[in-house]
Amino acid sequence: MQKAVGILAAALAVAGLVGACGAETQSDARGVAQANADAVVNVQIVVEMTTSYGGESEKEENRTSVTGTVIDPSGLVVTSLSGTDPSHMISMFMGEDDSDFKMSAEIVDLKIKTSDGTEIPADMVLRDPDLDLAFIKPKKAPEKPLAYVDLSQSSVPQLLQEMVLLSRLGKVADYSLYAAVEPVHAVVTKPRTFYVAGMYSSFGGPAFALDGKPVGILVLRSAKGDSARSMFSGYDDMMAGIVLPSSTVLKIAEQAKTAVPQE
């Protein structure tokens, strides 16, 4: 009887410890989300799509919105290229055998919508298809510096270390901040380092360690080569949502700061 009571007491103690750890994680994550909420913005895009196949072409205008992360007080925003350019997403699935099919996308209007609802006209200044990154700058310098994520103060997480992932919901949810806590499910080091954060699928937002230091930016990584487009390939073989390290994003961001608007 005493042994059974001892086992029960130990189990309750462990459960209490787990509960305390869980509450502490939630508190830390909530603090990270609140501290960085204003740096997570909504990028509103109007894109004119042109598709051609078999000698015929068609144009269509699409409106969409994606999450972006302000990474400089000047208003420089980084987001996932896949979300801003539908033709980039389509190209992930097209091989050389699909040369008869062409798709292009032209951005005809671009705005940064801040957390207080302010809409700032902006330009696309740099694209990096390999990293799935797009950089956006306000057409005019903001009257006051914007809240931003300082990627130079980065964190390098370990396997199963928890991260705080932030994004913005769409119009249906009044562009509210969305936060999730996910562990690092995988650390990939070749051909470049990145982290896999489960099935989280909102790209363009930042990922943080629980101490508030930025881990990186959420983007979409696609496999290269014809084998990736095989009819027998599953989604997991072709693409995955990943966290691109802050240091990697920062290198490209330095180029974006002086880049001119792209046509």
pLDDT of 238 reads 63
Question: What's the CA gap between 105 and 111, in Å, rounded?
Answer: 17
Q: How confident is the model at residue 104 (pLDDT cuts 50, 70, 90)?
A: confident
Check: CB of residue 196 under 8 Å from CB of residue 236: no
What is the C-alpha end-to-end distance of the chain, expressed in Å? 78
User: Can you say whether residue 107 is alpha, beta or left, with left for phi > 0 and alpha for psi between -120 and 50 degrees?
Assistant: beta
SS3 breakdown of the chain: % helix, strand, coil, rounded to 5?
30, 40, 35
Position with higher pLDDT, 213 vs 48: 213
- Residue 186 bridge partners (DSSP): 196
Q: What is the pLDDT of residues 70-80, one digit of tens each?
A: 999 999 999 99
Residue 60 reports pLDDT greater than 60: yes
What distance in Å separates the CA atoms of residue 140 and residue 261, rounded to the nearest whole number? Answer: 12
Task: Return d(Cα 198, Cα 185) in angstroms, integer.
Answer: 6
Q: Tell me: the pLDDT tens digits for 147-174?
A: 999 999 999 999 999 999 999 999 999 9
Task: Report residue 202's pLDDT band, with 50, 70 and 90 as the boundaries.
Answer: confident
Token pair of 169, please? 């919901």
Residue partners of 91: CB distance under 8 A and separation at least 6: 103, 129
d(CA 79, CA 84): 8
Q: Cα separation of 155 and 248, whole Å?
A: 12
Domains in the chain (CATH in brackets) are 36-256 (2.40.10.120)
CA distance 122 to 65: 14
Read off the pLDDT of each residue in 255-260 and give the average, rounded to a whole number. 93
**Structure-token pair, residue 154:** 């980065």
Ramachandran category for residue 134: left, alpha or beta (phi over 0 → left; psi -120 to 50 → alpha): beta
Between CA 109 and CA 123 the distance in angstroms is 8
Chain Cα centroid distance, residue 107: 20
Q: Tell me the mean pLDDT in the region 28-32.
A: 97
